[in-house]
Amino acid sequence: MKKLVPLVVVLSLAACSQKQEIACNDENSTSVVTSILKDALVKQVTSAFQQNAVANVDGASIRATVEKISIRLEDVLTTKSDPNSTKKFCQSSLKLTLPSDVIANADATRNMLSQNNSHQGALQAGVDFDADTVKASLDYSVQPTDDGKKIYGSTEGNSAAITFASTIIEQSMLKSALDKQKAAEQQAQQQQALQAQQQQAEIAQAQAAEAQAALQKAQADIKAANDAINVVWNAGSKEWRQNLLPEQRLWLAQRENDCKIKALDIGASDSVAFQTAKLSCEVQMTVDRTQVLKSALQQNMAQAN
């Protein structure tokens, strides 16, 4: 069996000066054992937090939490008593009652760590955990000093119960640190999401400005292209224009339809992208048509001469 760390407890002279003999179920004896168990809990919880980088828990907080635990020794038996020695060997039923908030916080921590609850964990660990009380058999020994001023005690027995109780205490105290860590992570995620939204908004704003600038350029280009083709058209004779008018009207309808179809591949008909694409297409077709009309006009003028 694994021994729990022994603890020396100094008792008052009034309690021990009258006799050096003690009994297993004396209040002083059980007080020593209770102190040993609480000290063992403090040391195990402290050791656990020393290896845990998430939480920063001080010893006073650990001790204060351990002090909330009720430790009782029941059905005490004297298993060995040597008439030539003041040392007594004892056996008892150990009961460690945990506060409801400690259990609740521990279960919350276990849930955050994707573990089963404390009672299911006790079953897996082979520990008797009934409602809020850990139960186990405990062997211990007590012996007064020769002057009767102190009592030394040591424990042996099922250390699984103490280990389980210390784990519950650790997990209960860990909840606050995990809550802070979770809140910090959520805040960081929200900050990242906000930054991403701001970045997307800035990108969208820049893209909208760029698209608007492209539309304005296309509007200026189509005006210039239309002005140029009108100059060529008006440079021809009335008869020449009359002959080309059906063809010109057909070209205008073709320009409208062809450019609309091409622009629909770029965006919806009410979008800036559609308008820009349609105008850009019209510009190119108008420039090409202007060259055709120039050639036709030059040929017509040459024939007239």
- Report how far residue 99's alpha carbon sits from residue 103's, in angstroms, rounded to the nearest whole number: 7
pLDDT in tens, 178-208: 888 889 999 999 999 999 999 999 999 999 9
Give which of 52, 183, 50, 179 is closest to 105, Cα–Cα: 179
> What integer pLDDT is reported at residue 4 of this predicted model?
46
- Give me the mean pLDDT over the 59-78 stretch: 95
Domains and CATH numbers, the chain: 3-190 (no CATH), 197-304 (1.20.1270)
Name 151's bridge partners: 9, 144
Q: What is the pLDDT of residues 86-115, one digit of tens each?
A: 999 999 999 999 999 999 999 999 999 999
Q: pLDDT for 278-287, tens place per residue? A: 999 999 999 9
Q: Please, which residues have CB within 8 angstroms of residue 293's CB and are 6 or more apart in sequence?
A: 229, 232, 233, 236, 244
Checking if the pLDDT of 251 tops 50, the result is: yes
**Are 46 and 38 within 8 A, CB to CB?**
no
| Rounded average pLDDT over 69-93 | 93
On the question of pLDDT at 17 being above 80, the answer is: no
Identify the pLDDT of residue 159: 81
> Are 58 and 69 spatial neighbours (Cβ–Cβ below 8 Å)?
no
